[in-house]
Structure 1
Amino acid sequence: MNWRRINNILHRDLGYLCFGLTIIYAISGVAVNHIADWNPNYRIERLQTAIDPAPLQGLSGDTLVKTILDQLGETSEIKGSYRADKENLQIFVVNNNITANLATGAVYQEKNRPRKVLFEMNFLHINHAKKLWTWVADLYAIALFLVAITGLFVLRGKKGITGRGGWLTATGIAIPVFFLWLYL
């Protein structure tokens, strides 16, 4: 078996193997690139509601927090709370940040709901999983490296690396070099 045949088999099989992760990384990459424009992980819903401040008078600590959450119908696990000032209490529950004005009863909530599918893609892409996933991601990166190298030698002649492929490869290298020069 000659080296070009081995190269093409390796390129083809690694390409098939990398397909799923490449789709995940591509979609997640575009989403994360635009993080300044939107939150790719969560849909944020901002609500302004009100509670009755009368039952809050004289309460403090966990009792105050529980009374406010009961009035809001919020049952998620409490992560923490603190008094921002004399009138405002910040309460943090899973997927909801609450600011309650104890004097007026005005409540401002920011509810975070994970975006279906995109949350999970970003979870993998950004490597929040850690542990064994780090090794999977490293193997994927090595496989992509090999797909790139073997791809250079799939075609021969004027369409291969000695022809049009060489010009395209040089352009592909020049683009990131240009932007590094431009921004650094």
Structure 2
Amino acid sequence: MKIVQVRNLHRDLGYFYVGLIISFAFSGILMNHREHWHPEKYTVQTKAISVNIPKDADITEKYAEELGKQLGIDDKIRRHKVKENELKISFEKNDVEIDLKTGKGEVVTFVKTPIISQTMKLHKNTSNWWIYYSDIFGLSLITIALTGVIMIPAGKFTFKKRGWKLALAGLIIPLLILIFV
């Protein structure tokens, strides 16, 4: 392949995928910090509640769902758990936390954050067509990286003279993280 063809392929793939590269990078950064804040949703309302939960209650998913209905929550239940005398119920648009000893708790209502929620969906989408498209995108990123390596044919900034050192450094950092973290 000639240098001109390599440059054209590199440029055209870069242009074609620039939107997806930015979306993945943006949502990837947000997902890296999802334990500190929930980037997909923001709080609209927090309401204090007080409920009477019998001490011998068997807290099943059905029980949690019924309790949600009693609290005026109509959306789909995602999960529930009891840990250290605290009941946590997660619905699609609400989170409920109740201290089982006192019956006091709160309902947090939220909505999806515009744009952020949609871009984060890209990382979680599991439909077949999206997986294949993402695979093609991954192969294209490899192509962009390799064509970028061989685009500069001569001089002191070629891959052979200088680029391999930077590439090695870029490879060592993730390897060290995989090994030690």
* TM-score (norm: length of structure 1): 0.69
Distance across 2 between alignment mates of 1:90 and 1:162:
54
1:133 aligns with 2:135: no
* Counterpart in the other structure of 2:70: 68
Shift of 1:182: 6.1
Structure 1 range deviating more: 100-109 or 37-46: 100-109
1:119–1:145 distance in 2 versus 1, CA, 3 Å? same
Query: Match for 2:108 among 100, 105, 110?
Result: 110
In structure 1, the residue corresponding to 2:12 is in which secondary structure?
Answer: helix
Deviation at residue 140 of structure 1 after TM alignment: 0.3
User: What TM-score comes out, normalization by structure 2 length?
Assistant: 0.70
Map 1:39-118 → 2, pairs under 5 A:
39-44=38-43, 47-50=46-49, 65=67, 68-70=70-72, 74-77=73-76, 92-99=90-97, 106-118=104-116
Query: CA 1:21 to 1:52, structure 2 compared with 1: closer, same or farther past 3 Å?
Result: closer
Choose 1 or 2 for highest CA Rg: 1
Does 2:143 match 1:146? Answer: yes
RMSD between aligned residues: 3.8
Q: What is the letter of the counterpart of residue 108 of structure 1?
A: E
Contact 1:127 1:133 in 2 (8 A): no
In structure 2, the residue matched to 1:8 is 7
Partner SS for 1:146 = helix
Q: 1:158–1:32: structure 2 CA closer, same or farther, 3 Å change rule? A: same
CA contact (8 A) 1:41 1:122 kept: yes
- Encode CA deviations 1:3-26: one digit per residue, 9 max, x unaligned: 111111111111111111100111
Distance 1:109 1:140 in 2: 41
CA shift at 1:174, angstroms?
Answer: 1.6
- In 1, are the aligned partners of 2:156 and 2:162 still within 8 Å (CA)? no
Q: Using the alignment, how far apart are the partners of 2:150 and 2:156 within structure 1? A: 10
Distance 1:115 1:176, change over 3 A: farther
Q: 1:97 to 1:66 in 2, by over 3 A?
A: closer
Aligned counterpart for 2:172 among listed residues 163, 167, 177: 177
CA contact (8 A) 1:153 1:160 kept: no
Q: Percent identity?
A: 21
Task: Give the distance between the partners of 2:118 and 2:38, measured in 1 at CA.
Answer: 14
Name the amino acid aligned to 1:181.
L
Question: Is this contact kept in 1: 2:39–2:116, CA < 8 A?
Answer: yes
Structure 1 distance, partners of 2:78, 2:162, is: 56
Which residue of structure 1 aligns with residue 24 of structure 2?
Answer: 25
Question: Residues of 1 paired with 2:154 and 2:80: CA distance?
Answer: 68
Which structure 2 segments of 5+ residues have no match? 58-62
Aligned residues: 171
